[in-house]
Structure 1
Amino acid sequence: MGKPTGFMEYQRQGNPSQSPLERIKHYNEFHPRLSREDRRRQGARCMECGVPFCQSGAVLNGMVSGCPLHNLIPEWNDLVYTGNFSHALERLLKTNNFPEFTGRVCPALCEAACTCGLHGDPVTVKDNELGIIEDAWTRGLVSPRPPRSRTGKRVAVVGSGPAGLACADQLNRRGHSVTVFEREDRPGGLLMYGIPNMKLEKNIVQRRLDKMTAEGVEFRTGVDVGKGMSAQELTAQFDAVVLCCGATQPRDLSVPGRDLDGVWFAVDFLKETTRSLLSHQLAPGTYPSAQDKQVVIVGGGDTGNDCVGTCIRHGCASVTQLEMMPKAPDRRTEQNPWPEWPRVCKTDYGQEESIALFGHDPRVYETTVSRLLGDQEGKLTAVETVRLGPDHQPIAGTEEVLECQLLLIAAGFLGAQAYVPQAFGVELTPRSTMVTQEGSYATGIPGVFAAGDGRRGQSLVVWAIREGREAARDVDQYLMGYTNL
């Protein structure tokens, strides 16, 4: 281990954050990184535990604790402390294809399981991870490394989100010729269009895409497999197909007035904002603007929070975020001990910005929308909300009308859009996720595999990367009869 007394000598110091009232003036990332010397001190806090829960990825009480990728966290924390960033990079890339993504957007399951967090503050694992990879990019240590030879096998990956990219990256390293198909105008999936620029600047995504292209991965955008291109065309041209099309079917609101003008699915709202930011510098009329509007967001998760932060940057007049569940406790309860994932109230960047700008938390708990109200032109003017009881049933007499000109539905996702798996004959579960064989990523159709949220259900970027890596191993085994992935 690095410094045996490091966790006692040094306090946790995360990457600093620009103040809410300053960062809402732009769409850039707002967490400048620590100096190398400060980062070394943070690495010194890692105790290299005999049982490193941080890298376990174990399911405890129904939720995952520790890193699903089983990152070698104590090893590279020690290397950070000793200043050996080059070797830390090697250990980091052994398990994670894209630490520059997870180091920005992962909720840090590793830190929730850190032993230092049992009686104090956990190690800054996520920030250390980001520090290692960004140091490497800055020093030119991350460069294209095409495979020395090719196997002659061709693989199609449908979808260019984190699962598709991880799968393509692994298979390309093995020497297979990989083509990634993406229906949008840019590759990257939710990394490009689902996660706002403030959390993940798109030049960071493009930097990785450029590296993969230089290594031989082909990206074909504007191709909607299952509609614009048939499954038969794909299976005829490629030796294997991997469906990484995500869980992109959003949950809807079934309430009177749903068809009024001014109602958007959150994912579409965020996507069009990013598209306009990249292509039109947010020119008026190129995206659904929240400027001067009273906004209501249905959903209390990460996507809802992203909508809060985005609407504030648009210049909204107000923002309210409705959550069906009661407010979580501020601290762990006895029924939620370490190293379980902490079921506590998290105030994220969007909510912090709302508090700073409007003077209050935007969240309203145990509440949902009962109906939408509009004017004679069919435009949304207000929403009626209702309180929910312990059984999630509406409580009569608690209705309240909120003025609203923009309603964003951020109620999660049901699973894959059916037309892609159906085109290949892949079976779907009742949750609209793709069925694969037990212990495998192979579907019931020979040569067709599935990975990511479309197979697992809505989840985290770190899980998508793991799914993509493991699916690549199954594909390699199928193509070659053995695998060294």
Structure 2
Amino acid sequence: MGKATGFIEYAREKTIDRNPRTRLNDWNEYSAPFSDETLKKQGARCMDCATPFCHIGMEIQGVTTGCPIHNLIPEWNDLAYRGRWREALDRLLKTNNFPEFTGRVCPAPCEGSCTLAITDPAVAIKSIERTIIDKGFENGWITPRIPKWRTGKKIAIIGSGPTGLASADQLNQAGHSVTVYERADRAGGLLMYGIPNMKLEKEVVERRIRLLTQEGIDFVLNTEIGKDITHAELKAQFDAVILCTGAQKQRELDIEGSDSKGIHLAMNYLSATTKSLLDSQFEDNQFINTEGKDVIVIGGGDTGADCVATAMRQKCRSVVQFGKHPQLPQARTDDNMWPAYPNVFSLDYAYEEADAKFGEDPRKYSVQTKKIVADEQGHVKELHTIQMEKLKNENGRFYFKEIPGTEKIWPAQHVFIAIGFEGTEEPLLNHFGVEAVNKKIVAAKGDYRTNIDGVFAAGDARRGQSLIVWAINEGREVARSVDHYLMGSTVLP
């Protein structure tokens, strides 16, 4: 590294986020990039650790550790330190098709396994990554890469999320003709409608879609497989088909009163909000409006946090988020040692905003919802809960036990269910006739092939709900497999 003592001389700096109270008045991105000078110092903190665990890309204790797409992190950290941004961009794009997405919404497992993080705050890898790609667009270095020749092979990709886009990009560059089918009216999958605008502005997604289109990829929107076009028609028109539909089947809450009016699946809420914002700046009123209402979010993950942030921008009266697990510790515990992902307490953008607006973190821990009570019109009016204790049995397995006397009633007019996803949607699996694991995800082999010749599957449709970096990894890997299937060998990295 150019600055061998940088990790000693410079401290990690926080990203420059807009004031929480100010950003609640709009839907623009809450975070801004560092200045060049700050980024150089942050890049200098990369410590030439010989074995860079930041890009190992594996799972430890069932959680992603390091970068699954194996970004060459120490290399572009050093180039950023030296101010050689164009070279840093070249190194970044060798492994990552869409750094403008991961640099904004990836949870950065790379930072959790940074060697410096053993004793000090990790290198600001995610912020450096975002700055590199943003500079690439700002300086006109990102231009359409038109393939010089075509193989004559045609591939259909079902789904335009990060897996579909990554596989399309790779296969197009290999010279194949690629068509991406998307049932929504805009391409991008969850990048477009599942992630709120304040985390990922949609112009960033649309910019990449325009670039892929200029490079020769066809996007067919408002088209549902099995309804608007059949599997048989796809097989007749294309040499291979890749299922990249994601794991969009949301888990529902099955308790007394869960069928009351005002109970919504989280992704339906977020998608409708983003679509109305893009279509009409909310003039069409085609969204769930929480203004002046008491909101409860059930589920402690990122999707739940996005619901909290969305409700506050709609000027809800109050918002609470229930999680079934206890609050995370402030530092790693003995059973969560480096380089595993650090399961420690953090203040997400949504919680920072809630604290600024309401004076407290909206998260309530170890909460079990027992029943939902509706009013005379059948609309939710309150939730009944009880506190839970997380215990470990003699076999080392965790279980939850109710704590008597901790019952509580919470007022609510809107409840959002954000308890995860079960898998891909069964109608599509049945239409293609592909084998599935527990009727939830596609049973695709190590080479991403399904039981149907010429049909492949990748991303969340194959592995279940996961991270954007795993989605891009799977998109790149399935592209290699399809290229080999069509050509007998592959030129793809």
Query: TM-score, structure 2 length as denominator?
Result: 0.96
The equivalences for 1:348-359 within 5 A come to 348-359=348-359
1:202 aligns with 2:194: no
Which of 468, 475, 478 matches 2:482?
Answer: 475
1:423 aligns with 2:431: yes
CA, structure 1 residues 249+72, in 2 after alignment: closer, same or farther (shift >3 Å)? same
- Counterpart of 2:368 in structure 1 is 368
Distance 1:267 1:58 in 2: 28
Aligned partners of 1:292 and 1:315 also within 8 Å: yes
Distance 2:124 2:462 in 1: 31
Measured against aligned partners, the alpha-carbon deviations of 1:99-138 in whole angstroms (never above 9, x if no partner) come to 0000000111111111111111111111111111000100
Distance 1:394 1:387 in 2: 6
Instruction: Give the superposition deviation at 1:227.
Output: 2.7
Measured against aligned partners, the alpha-carbon deviations of 1:420-449 in whole angstroms (never above 9, x if no partner) come to 121111111126011012x21111110000
1:29 aligns with 2:29: yes
1:444 aligns with 2:456: no
Distance 1:244 1:50 in 2: 37
- Counterpart of 1:465 in structure 2 is 472
- Counterpart of 1:319 in structure 2 is 319
SS at structure 2 position matched to 1:388? strand
334-343 vs 239-248, which deviates more? Answer: 334-343
Instruction: Give the superposition deviation at 1:408.
Output: 0.1
Measured against aligned partners, the alpha-carbon deviations of 1:198-223 in whole angstroms (never above 9, x if no partner) come to 10000000000000000000001110
Amino acid in the other structure paired with 2:262: G
Aligned partners of 1:105 and 1:199 also within 8 Å: yes
Distance 1:17 1:190 in 2: 24
Aligned partners of 1:414 and 1:431 also within 8 Å: no
SS at structure 2 position matched to 1:370? strand
Instruction: Give the superposition deviation at 1:381.
Output: 1.2
Distance 1:284 1:365 in 2: 37
- Counterpart of 2:443 in structure 1 is 435
The equivalences for 1:190-269 within 5 A come to 190-269=190-269
74-83 vs 277-286, which deviates more? Answer: 277-286
Amino acid in the other structure paired with 1:110: C
Instruction: Give the superposition deviation at 1:477.
Output: 0.4
Amino acid in the other structure paired with 1:294: D
Amino acid in the other structure paired with 1:70: H
Measured against aligned partners, the alpha-carbon deviations of 1:305-340 in whole angstroms (never above 9, x if no partner) come to 000000000000000101111111111112211111
The equivalences for 1:28-427 within 5 A come to 28-283=28-283, 285-390=285-390, 391-427=399-435
Aligned partners of 1:56 and 1:67 also within 8 Å: yes
SS at structure 2 position matched to 1:306? helix
Instruction: Give the superposition deviation at 1:393.
Output: 4.6
Percent identity reads 50
Aligned partners of 1:14 and 1:127 also within 8 Å: no
Aligned partners of 1:163 and 1:467 also within 8 Å: yes
Measured against aligned partners, the alpha-carbon deviations of 1:411-470 in whole angstroms (never above 9, x if no partner) come to 000000111121111111126011012x21111110000001111110111110000000
Distance 1:18 1:320 in 2: 23
Aligned partners of 2:248 and 2:425 also within 8 Å: yes
Distance 2:333 2:32 in 1: 33
Query: TM-score, structure 1 length as denominator?
Result: 0.98
Distance 1:87 1:47 in 2: 20
SS at structure 1 position matched to 2:400? coil
Amino acid in the other structure paired with 2:477: E
Instruction: Give the superposition deviation at 1:384.
Output: 1.4
Aligned partners of 2:426 and 2:439 also within 8 Å: no
Aligned partners of 2:276 and 2:285 also within 8 Å: no
Aligned partners of 1:247 and 1:458 also within 8 Å: yes
Aligned partners of 1:48 and 1:75 also within 8 Å: no
Aligned partners of 1:193 and 1:270 also within 8 Å: yes
- Counterpart of 2:394 in structure 1 is none
464-473 vs 340-349, which deviates more? Answer: 340-349
Cα RMSD over matched residues?
Answer: 1.2
Instruction: Give the superposition deviation at 1:389.
Output: 3.6
Amino acid in the other structure paired with 1:382: E
Instruction: Give the superposition deviation at 1:48.
Output: 2.3
Distance 2:380 2:410 in 1: 11
Q: How many residues align?
A: 484
Aligned partners of 1:177 and 1:216 also within 8 Å: yes
334-343 vs 184-193, which deviates more? Answer: 334-343
Aligned partners of 1:325 and 1:365 also within 8 Å: yes
Distance 1:353 1:101 in 2: 22
Distance 1:197 1:130 in 2: 16
Distance 1:313 1:59 in 2: 36
Distance 1:99 1:35 in 2: 18
Aligned partners of 2:114 and 2:122 also within 8 Å: yes
Distance 2:226 2:458 in 1: 17
Distance 2:387 2:35 in 1: 48
- Counterpart of 2:460 in structure 1 is 453
Measured against aligned partners, the alpha-carbon deviations of 1:28-69 in whole angstroms (never above 9, x if no partner) come to 012221222221121111112210001111322332211000
Measured against aligned partners, the alpha-carbon deviations of 1:271-319 in whole angstroms (never above 9, x if no partner) come to 0000000001012622101100100100000000000000000000000
Instruction: Give the superposition deviation at 1:344.
Output: 1.1
Unaligned runs of 5+ in 1: none
Unaligned runs of 5+ in 2: 391-398
- Counterpart of 2:393 in structure 1 is none
Amino acid in the other structure paired with 2:109: L
SS at structure 2 position matched to 1:392? strand
Aligned partners of 2:4 and 2:48 also within 8 Å: no
